[in-house]
A and B are shown apart, each in its own frame.
Chain A
């Protein structure tokens, strides 16, 4: 699986949009970009994933650049409950080998009141 690079930490004001970047310059054509987050003392939680088109769900939006070498997770109106570590992961979806997720160190997002 392609490696990802994320900033170690970020701050965001409550109510503002949080934009979390991720670089994945070695991504392959069949690899999806996944985002998970981990709130303190809990297991990671799936947020969103995409291949090449922008995606949006009730939690967040995912913007993938045209060359697919980077992406941005957007939390449109951050709340204190969004304080967590955010992981950007690339992997093949529906892989018959059911490939494991490879987590990096993630971005620690601190939402400030």
Chain B
């Protein structure tokens, strides 16, 4: 049984560009959450999707948007990239608010 998978593993972009990150949840999970982790800090909650709608959102600007597909997979989009968006982006899946399972993340570098 595959766990949470994220793609790509690494990405380099320049300021002002747009980026899309992808996540496939653990089999049987219906809820996907996205977290941003800056170097040396704990993960920070971005938003959460289930039933194809954004259900909760952390303190992130609307440059950060997402989508959940009928198969429960999800995308995170970031527009107008800033240097400060450089971070590890983590996807986590869960079922009915239970414990979260995390992927290994996408390391985004903005130059």
List A residues at the B interface (Cβ < 8 Å).
Answer: 34, 41-46, 49, 85, 87, 93-106
Number of residues in B with C-beta < 8 Å to the partner?
Answer: 27
CA distance A42 to B98 in the complex (A): 21
A-B contact pairs, 23 of them (CB 8 A): A41-B104, A43-B90, A43-B102, A43-B103, A43-B104, A44-B43, A44-B90, A44-B100, A46-B99, A85-B42, A87-B42, A93-B97, A98-B48, A98-B55, A98-B94, A99-B97, A100-B33, A100-B45, A100-B48, A101-B43, A101-B45, A102-B45, A105-B41
Over the window 43-72 of chain B, the binary record of Cβ atoms lying under 8 Å from chain A Cβ atoms (1 yes, 0 no) is 111001010000110100000000000000
Q: How many A-B residue pairs have CB under 8 A?
A: 62
Contact A42 B104, CB 8 Å, known A100-B45, A103-B43: yes
| Chain A contact surface mostly | loop
CA distance A85 to B37 in the complex (A): 13
Chain A residues with CB below 8 A from B50, complex form:
98
Sample of 19 more A-B contacts, CB < 8 Å, known A97-B55, A105-B42? A42-B105, A43-B90, A43-B104, A44-B43, A44-B92, A44-B100, A46-B99, A49-B99, A94-B98, A98-B31, A98-B55, A98-B56, A98-B94, A98-B97, A99-B56, A100-B33, A103-B35, A103-B42, A103-B43
